[in-house]
Structure 1
């Protein structure tokens, strides 16, 4: 009832931007933990504001904007105050004390703008606002730049999400990995940890869907709990206006003229989201003042400076950094004319795995000074392998693969890098293309790309391409991978079905950036396969919306001819 009276009061005064707060008693901090900020469209954003009592002068403000409402948030906001800022934590509409419906992604850009505007008019703000945070908090920072507010002076996004391309789908393939996330963030005003941590429940649902063969759109019916956000997202299998409206798109990046520091990881699940912003910012704003730190980090590891052992891999000691310390050094640099963080010796700062060193270059393109173009040939290279060679085959030929999409006794495309280093790979399906050993040390630096030439008997397929280093001891070190839908390969905003039995070029480039020094005697291995497993939609190839296809659409097996002029391009530093 208390919140209802608050809202009625705000509606009566009719202010364009209003706030209600209660002040908690604290000997060190002035804390306003129940602030409600009214947006232009009449919603309310819940916020916490913390200032040091011994400083009553206007100060720069550090804003975090998130959907993750937790009791521990006050600690993070106090930390900003301790470092000479006003700390503000604001939440997606509907969270904490906001009376509105929780709606992930859709309103955060506009709401963040309104929060920034409100902050900029407060007596305790000196007109300079910076933002930082990871994952969803990284997304919300970029959402805030879609309409730049003059008071926003810098952002520091870690492993930033990009709705529609990373979560809930990757290269137009819907994934099951975050199915429960919508319940976790929307079931209550804080977080439903019981639901979010119930891996047994969600794995059982995933397996039940896989075994039943029902349409992907009915996956929540099988589980028994409607997932309204998934259903909304499934209406947009292309990267259409629905997704484009959430973050800067194309030339909207041109007006982002504030300094940006992005932090990401080679093994961050959402890396293709985070680096999208980096690439597009540079593409559309040639003078972008944008720095990147990237190394052997996972999604959570990048937000805390790395992990000594990452998915079984002992990372280089130099890769372990202090993300929070670097963040505040950057904020001091921009908002207080402080010293630039020592690690930022150039725009792109990346750790070379295996070399135990950081390198610094002015652009992503400058990470490499050459590339290997390697062809996926039909020539045998031992029992389990085909040759991966720099020489383009003189005569066109192909490898045949047949996949029964109705068969639930087998699955295809084991691409996820956990563990990063394996002693063996499952070679029961797909094709494995192996290069000659390197005669000297060489470094991979960048994101691999390529083009698959293929013909199929259906109208579509989902493809997996995984890149490994085969080390001299015979173990497999996963470097990067691609997962994507063939019909969106040329344009993620519009579906273009394949013509059955016609040879088509399927380009791919949205892969994960990585840097690693390969030793003498190492080889490169490319694994090419169809994606068919319980972790993502199954594309039966009819040309219908994949979310509506069922196991009954499998009919005859998918028959693929992989042509030997298919290739990958691997950026290297010689």
Structure 2
């Protein structure tokens, strides 16, 4: 069918000031503006833009996607000059892109915002990112043919619509000239949707929330009400996991139910998770300038550094990366959870720094890219932990830190250092000389270890994000009492003596754990903690989470296949923690907590060996952690020598 038959467009001429008004106020200003235009033939503001709403772009299979086009305007008319385009493809309602669109449309760009397939005003059926490569290519091709486009597209967006950038780059859209994927979805079977074989329940939460927001099902008012009630009852449904097809109101949004159940059943990192798999196929990524952005406490932090390493050795790019002390999508903030990293941690103007990048690669402007922060070097990291440790005015720990430019990741000057688990709960650079030494605990799936902060996104109401003292309280729905997590008998604590000097840990982190279980399948978890000593402001000290990880027993050999365990047999498990950059200060302790659950960050292993997400039973497992000469359980820390900390090498 002809495209013009699918136009439901509306053109509005606005100035930036007017677009900040309420809907009623905007309508009034538009009406007055149009009257003035009729009377005088022009508008006073030369800093205007034109908005064309709900242009229905055809995809190759006949589905049409709702698209808004923001163009610079002068004297009430759209600028005719072909311009580069900033494209945002998202599932969260394109109307929410008005602020970014206004900025770029008044700074010499056309801004295009599109509802992805099956979301809000777009036709079709939603699938988790799997359509966004082809749809992105089709969208870019249409843009490239428009008279207002100069044929160059830069993409923008965070999280899911950071993932649509990766999808389009992997699909090789000819018009795509650069991307800035922020906290972007990628490598879903590795350390994101599935993590070490376990399922990240933040995506269970995402489905329960978004099945009734902007979905096809939600277009029916009655169905929308039922799905809204489902979302309100998420804590009750968490107690009834696993979620099965046809057994909850989620069946009213079948594509969402089908994806969720399939994802929770599919642990193997194979073609099911192929979309946006950059680490295993970086050669598929278009060779364009890429600026990767994420944070030490973001859910996609580990995949961001992994993508940098994969792309940096595969494409000419150039590939840049910045990692701050941020949680998901909070690059303009400098505090989260219970911790303050200092105002210098924030990037205040979220549109201007991106514009600098776009100006350089889309317009050829000789500017700060490659010359000054945040683009001076290929890698820019925030080194946490150099604050004074006092309370700020809001009662948060002043952990502090500073920015540092680097030339690579991981850092070439890294000294990988083993810290061994000891029989007495110690953590030491010296391996244990004891011939036989174990610590045992019971893991009950009915009483999992609660999540307190960490690398979280989409945790609304069920998870708290970021940096927290590892202590319960009213902010943790499943650990209300204000007692330390270390008091639990199913949490094994291994910690160093107070450090004699500052120790910087910057890079990728692994725990190599020797363990056995009475179960044929179980989980082992590990968490790295910076232990503050007692002080005037913190009489009980402060146990600051730095990074965590998990491994599901059946995936101990490979994420590509399942192999159940022999009960009682010792295996070596590699638990990949999230990357970090943190100074453990003199007098602090380095601590590693070992357990078998971290809920609701990860789904809980029933210890039965049943197919994933199909269990009906659960067993208490007896877990044995080995820490002797023949079984040197340890954490491998990327230590930066003190003489090399302050300079790029």
Are residue 114 (structure 1) and residue 153 (structure 2) matched?
no
1:270 counterpart residue number: 300
Q: Deviations over 1:129-152 (max 9, x none)?
A: 100110111111001111212221
DSSP-derived class of the 1:140 partner: helix
Q: How far has the Cα of 1:471 moved from its partner? A: 1.9
Distance in 2 (alpha carbons) for counterparts of 1:364 and 1:269: 19
DSSP-derived class of the 1:137 partner: helix
Q: How far has the Cα of 1:280 moved from its partner? A: 2.3
Q: Deviations over 1:503-545 (max 9, x none)?
A: 2111233x21211222211110000111164554322333331
Distance in 1 (alpha carbons) for counterparts of 2:358 and 2:211: 31
Are residue 427 (structure 1) and residue 464 (structure 2) matched?
no
- Spell out the pairing of 1:210-225 with structure 2 (5 A cutoff): 216-218=242-244, 221=247
Q: How far has the Cα of 1:38 moved from its partner? A: 1.4
1:5 counterpart residue number: none
DSSP-derived class of the 1:293 partner: strand
DSSP-derived class of the 2:420 partner: strand
- Spell out the pairing of 1:217-296 with structure 2 (5 A cutoff): 217-218=243-244, 221=247, 227-248=257-278, 250-253=280-283, 255-285=285-315, 287-296=316-325
8 A contact 1:440–1:519 mirrored in 2 = yes
Aligned-pair RMSD on alpha carbons? Answer: 2.8
2:615 counterpart residue number: 549
1:397 counterpart residue number: 436
Distance in 2 (alpha carbons) for counterparts of 1:113 and 1:504: 46
8 A contact 1:180–1:196 mirrored in 2 = no
Q: Deviations over 1:212-231 (max 9, x none)?
A: xxx61438726675633212
8 A contact 2:153–2:176 mirrored in 1 = yes
1:4 counterpart residue number: none
1:212 counterpart residue number: none
Distance in 1 (alpha carbons) for counterparts of 2:442 and 2:248: 26
Are residue 185 (structure 1) and residue 246 (structure 2) matched?
no
TM-score of the two chains, using structure 2 as the length reference: 0.77
DSSP-derived class of the 2:325 partner: strand
Residue number among 89, 93, 103 corresponding to 2:127 in the alignment: 103
Are residue 518 (structure 1) and residue 584 (structure 2) matched?
yes
Q: How far has the Cα of 1:235 moved from its partner? A: 4.0
1:383 counterpart residue number: none
DSSP-derived class of the 1:25 partner: strand
Are residue 416 (structure 1) and residue 473 (structure 2) matched?
no
Q: Deviations over 1:421-445 (max 9, x none)?
A: 3474332222111112221122111
DSSP-derived class of the 2:165 partner: helix
Distance in 2 (alpha carbons) for counterparts of 1:180 and 1:448: 27
Q: How far has the Cα of 1:464 moved from its partner? A: 1.1
Distance in 1 (alpha carbons) for counterparts of 2:148 and 2:259: 38
Change (3 A) 1:116 1:396: farther
2:421 counterpart residue number: 376
- Spell out the pairing of 1:488-499 with structure 2 (5 A cutoff): 488-499=555-566
Q: How far has the Cα of 1:374 moved from its partner? A: 0.7
Q: How far has the Cα of 1:186 moved from its partner? A: 4.1
Q: After the TM superposition, which segments of 4 or more aligned residues of structure 1 sit over 6 Å from their partners?
A: 190-194, 196-199
Give the unaligned 5+ runs of structure 1. Answer: 1-7, 210-214, 381-385
- Spell out the pairing of 1:320-335 with structure 2 (5 A cutoff): 320-322=346-348, 323-335=350-362
Distance in 2 (alpha carbons) for counterparts of 1:161 and 1:223: 27
- Spell out the pairing of 1:450-529 with structure 2 (5 A cutoff): 450-473=511-534, 474-509=541-576, 511-529=577-595
Change (3 A) 1:426 1:354: closer
Give the unaligned 5+ runs of structure 2. Answer: 15-47, 219-223, 387-400, 455-463, 472-483, 535-540, 642-649
Q: How far has the Cα of 1:110 moved from its partner? A: 1.2
Distance in 1 (alpha carbons) for counterparts of 2:107 and 2:215: 27
Distance in 1 (alpha carbons) for counterparts of 2:511 and 2:211: 39
Q: How far has the Cα of 1:470 moved from its partner? A: 1.2
Q: How far has the Cα of 1:115 moved from its partner? A: 0.7
1:20 counterpart residue number: 7
- Of 120-129 and 185-194, more deviation after overlay is shown by 185-194
Distance in 2 (alpha carbons) for counterparts of 1:92 and 1:107: 9
Change (3 A) 1:59 1:288: closer
8 A contact 1:67–1:136 mirrored in 2 = yes
Residue number among 15, 37, 56 corresponding to 1:36 in the alignment: 56
DSSP-derived class of the 1:178 partner: helix
Distance in 2 (alpha carbons) for counterparts of 1:421 and 1:367: 32
8 A contact 1:145–1:248 mirrored in 2 = no
Are residue 154 (structure 1) and residue 178 (structure 2) matched?
yes
